[in-house]
Amino acid sequence: MRSVRPFPVYATILAVFTQRFAGPAAAANLLRGVVYGIFAAATFFLVVAALMERLGIAPTFLLACLAALLVQGATLRLLRGRREKTEDAQFNEVVAK
């Protein structure tokens, strides 16, 4: 999958500068965001690769954008659900003490 190769390069550069100017916690958040966002990017490229010859440029890119938005929305929804469960568990643990 040749199209995913630049992600480690740009993520490393961004992480180094983020860590330098905003600290390690910000760099960790940046890398976490890159990891979660790569699913949408991979979906975009997969749809483009699968449909470009059959549908042409405009319809392919429209469908690829829609697919990436759906995947990013689903990822965000899953992450928010996990965070709420973690926060609830932490709150319950504090209350139980």
Average pLDDT of the residues of the chain: 84
Q: 71 near 37, Cβ under 8 Å?
A: no
Rounded CA-CA distance 73/66 in Å is 10
**pTM assigned to the model:** 0.69
Q: First-to-last CA distance in the chain?
A: 50
Q: Which of 19-28, 32-41, 83-92 has the lowest mean pLDDT?
A: 83-92
pLDDT at 81: 78
Stronger pLDDT, 28 or 94, i.e. the higher one: 28
Over range 64-75, report the average pLDDT.
96
Q: Among candidates 10, 9, 13, 15, which has minimal Cα distance to 32?
A: 15
Rounded CA-CA distance 37/8 in Å is 13
